[in-house]
Amino acid sequence: MSQRFQEEHQAFRRTVKTFVEKELAPNADQWEKDETFPNWVFKKAGELGVHGAHFKEEHGGQGGDYWFSVAKGEEYAGIHSAGVGMGLLVQSDMATPCIADLGSKEQIEEFLKPALAGDKIAALGVTEPDAGSDVAGIRTTAKRDGDDYIINGAKTYITNGTRASFVTLLCKTDPNAGYGGISIILLPTDTKGFHVSKKLKKLGNHASDTAELHLEDCRVPARYLLGEEGKGFYYLMQNFQTERLIGAVTTVAGCQRAIDTSVEYGRNRTAFGKPIIKREVWQHRFVDMYTDLEAARQLTYRAVEQYNEERYEKGGSLSFDTVKLISMAKLFVGEKSSTIMDECLQFHGGMGYMDETFISRAWRDQRLIRIGGGTSEVMRYAIAKIIGL
């Protein structure tokens, strides 16, 4: 383990590992078939302090730094179902960090604390049928009406969408103000006019529920506005960095599992008189995979170091250099993980093509990292802007 992890991080890692091995991994195959997992998983993770380890104590967390989230994300790879990990990470690392940053005392009590305890389930509502990585293109509107907002629109590809207690929702409060007309509003899903249009079927991450949402004249109190009106786009860009960083962390861990599983398979699978891992061509390819994975891990850890320093040690905003590193980590991990997973599946031969094998699931689950949280193409565009191209 990296020296970046202290004993308290390792103790927490052991807690997560035990939770994963005893209560999650044994159910992964069934949850993949069910295309969902039970709500008690959120509650148990909350009881163990898993959701809130890197949140302040006054927010209902345990007061740790971001390395606690890294340890958690790495251990989630042991679930053997990225969909379960995805649902849990949306709860702790995607839909709630901006509430911790911006939320009023009342919003912390009503939304954040119950989410970290696992009593409420959170979703992040950004993507729309006509707006994905181009966040500024969203069409969902929130019009002020006295002490309320009236929200109309649609969201899609929303993880936890079929069962969320609330959605951290991006919407336009001023359609004519461009980036300055976007705001974030906390939307309870029991609000009249909120509907789950349908549950979506996906290539991978089968155990996470992903939904299309419809909002028709949803009236919510203006006090559910998160931060200042018109600054939602800028808040979201900061929040995206957390999503991209934890995505890189978990993908590196998933690749490590895939390589380890493949090497073990190769020691026991004999072809033409000897274990296939002893074939020089495959030894060389695994050396390349190990090298790429270590480079991906160290780039990701470097990004975590700067993120942790600026957000947890100094308590400030992220510098462009840190945003650049996070974007590079997500881009590099996404590209290399595709190669690694494909090589590992190829190494398994016909067995790798079977739906019930771990490697086929890992292969299809991994593909999301190049799309979710900003596509690889968007990452290149962001990096090009930062470095002055």
CA–CA distance, 365 with 371 (Å, rounded to integer)? 12
Residue type, 205: N
Residues whose CB is less than 8 angstroms from the CB of residue 175 and which lie 6 or more positions away in sequence, other chains included: 141, 181
Residues whose CB is less than 8 angstroms from the CB of residue 354 and which lie 6 or more positions away in sequence, other chains included: 360
Q: What is the 3-state secondary structure (H, E, C) of 231-248?
A: EHHHHHHHHHHHHHHHHH
Q: Which residues pair with 360 in a beta bridge?
A: none
CA–CA distance, 217 with 5 (Å, rounded to integer)? 48
Nearest in space to 138 (alpha carbons), one of 168, 188, 175, 164: 175
Nearest in space to 282 (alpha carbons), one of 301, 257, 305, 265: 265
Burial of 301 (0-12, 13-18, 19+ CB in 10 A): middle
C-beta of residue 337 within 8 angstroms of C-beta of residue 255: yes
| pLDDT, position 321 | 96
| pLDDT, position 2 | 57
| pLDDT, position 1 | 52
What is the DSSP track for 148-199? EEEEEEEEEEEETTTT-SEEEEEEES-TTSGGGGEEEEEEETTSTTEEEEEE
CA–CA distance, 382 with 327 (Å, rounded to integer)? 7
Which domains are present in the chain?
7-121 (1.10.540.10), 123-226 (2.40.110.10), 232-386 (1.20.140.10)
Q: Residue 275: helix, strand or coil by DSSP?
A: strand
The pTM of this model reads 0.95
From the list 74, 243, 294, 313, the catalytic residue is: 243
CA–CA distance, 310 with 253 (Å, rounded to integer)? 24
Q: Judge whether 243 counts as a catalytic residue.
A: yes
CA–CA distance, 273 with 268 (Å, rounded to integer)? 12
The structure tokens 């004519």 sit at 176
CA–CA distance, 171 with 191 (Å, rounded to integer)? 16
CA–CA distance, 145 with 377 (Å, rounded to integer)? 39
Compute mean pLDDT per 10 residues along the chain, 389 residues long, and list them.
Answer: 84 98 97 97 98 97 97 97 98 97 97 98 95 84 97 97 98 93 97 97 96 98 97 93 97 98 96 94 98 98 96 92 97 98 97 93 96 94 96
